[in-house]
Amino acid sequence: MNLNHHIAGMPAGYLFAEIARRVKEYEANQPETRVIRMGIGDVTRPLSPSVAKAFADAALGMTTAEGFHGYGPDGGYPFLIERIIRHDYQPRGVDLHMDEVFISDGAKTDTGAIQELFSADARIAVTAPVYPVYVDSNAMAGRLGRFENGRWSKLVTLPCSFDNGFVPELPRERVDVLYLCYPNNPTGTVLNRAQLQVIVDWARAHDTLIIYDAAYKAFITDPEIPTTIYEIPGAREVAIECCSFSKTAGFTGVRCAWTVIPREVKGSLPGGGTAALNALWRRRCGSKSNGVSFPVQKAAASVYSDIGWQETARTIAYYQDNAQLLLAALGKTGLQLAGGVHAPYVWLKTPGGMSGWDFFDYLLKTASVVGTPGEGFGTFGQGCFRLTAFSTKDNTQEAAARILDAINKL
């Protein structure tokens, strides 16, 4: 049989798999060393007790005739969708229809799969450095052309760097889809309302769809920074938004997320006419998924209870303190820093112009600390490095001291 040569021809392995491989090799050679992981953005705080209780109650309920649930409704249970709309959107002046929210098992799943709605020749743009899923999923579908010198020939990249204050310049060429992630992974930077308005206006003027990944929105503390793109007038016509309980409520292992597709978002069909992406996505999900389990959706809904929200807010504050700790320590190095304020990621320029991978190897060997090399987020991440605030406080303190020490030795 013939294989999908687009997957077979993908460069290297998935970023975090490659990091795990290098760390495993290092640990095998240095069994006595305690490695501190600040690489993958995986949470470390336990689930909130009230959320775990809702999860367990629903699971135990499944052993009774009244509490048993088979296949759930298309798009997710109304009890969860209603809470998401009431807590995440209405307080920001945004109202959504119940059928505009789709529950899924992850923002990675949805940001990876949403490209199934685009035509085979759709032109894709991403800000760069970039969360690899947006690029990989389109490359696997054969939309990005050839991979040469670290770049995809048909991918449009909008560089975001210390030089332009991490504000992307909009493309001059025709683009069908633009992926945005704010608060940004990997740079930890945000766009304010005015900056986002410029992009939404441009998307409307150029008939471009925005895929807005807001997985890290729980870390925003400034009311001037939008937590949803729908705070921006006009966004309902051009934007799909993907959100997640992973980083907000520690669900990386539990799995629950949602995607918003307003009824107004439309695309063109080859024979003329248009179709609503909401209807297309529902059709696609109906054929490919039976959604998320009942106990998981109950657990997710309980995040919005008074106690669940208080516990969740404490956990977010804990990670925010870690980010401050990292920023304070790294501030002593004189290196250029970004992020860490409205996001759990701190982005830095490596010392002495080292490549991100060289700095990764240096830190691993000298400090036994794992970070993420900027190159893992594409060539525009070259010479940069990402640290996460998702560790424990003790580990963050220890890692910050070890990193400072290692940088001083250079």
Instruction: Tell me whether residue 66 is exposed, middle or buried, using C-beta atoms within 10 angstroms of its C-beta: 0 to 12, 13 to 18, 19 or more.
Output: exposed
- Determine how many CB atoms are found less than 10 A away from the CB of residue 109: 17
Q: Which residue's C-beta sits nearest to ligand MLT?
A: 41
Smallest gap, in angstroms, from Cβ of residue 250 to ligand MLT? 13
Q: Which is nearer to ligand MLT, 38 or 327 (CB)?
A: 38
Smallest gap, in angstroms, from Cβ of residue 186 to ligand MLT? 6
Smallest gap, in angstroms, from Cβ of residue 296 to ligand MLT? 17
Q: Which is nearer to ligand MLT, 10 or 40 (CB)?
A: 40
> The tokens 């039976």 sit on which residue?
290
Q: Which is nearer to ligand MLT, 178 or 387 (CB)?
A: 387
Smallest gap, in angstroms, from Cβ of residue 41 to ligand MLT? 3
Interaction site with ligand MLT (CB under 6 A): 40-42, 108, 131, 185
Smallest gap, in angstroms, from Cβ of residue 338 to ligand MLT? 15
Smallest gap, in angstroms, from Cβ of residue 187 to ligand MLT? 11
Q: Which is nearer to ligand MLT, 185 or 189 (CB)?
A: 185
Q: How many residues would you count in the chain? A: 410
* Pair of tokens at residue 62: 């499944």
Q: Which is nearer to ligand MLT, 85 or 107 (CB)?
A: 107
Q: Which is nearer to ligand MLT, 185 or 391 (CB)?
A: 185
Smallest gap, in angstroms, from Cβ of residue 133 to ligand MLT? 7
Q: Which is nearer to ligand MLT, 138 or 208 (CB)?
A: 138
Phi and psi dihedrals of 225, rounded to 5? Answer: -95, 120
Smallest gap, in angstroms, from Cβ of residue 198 to ligand MLT? 26
Q: Which is nearer to ligand MLT, 50 or 259 (CB)?
A: 259
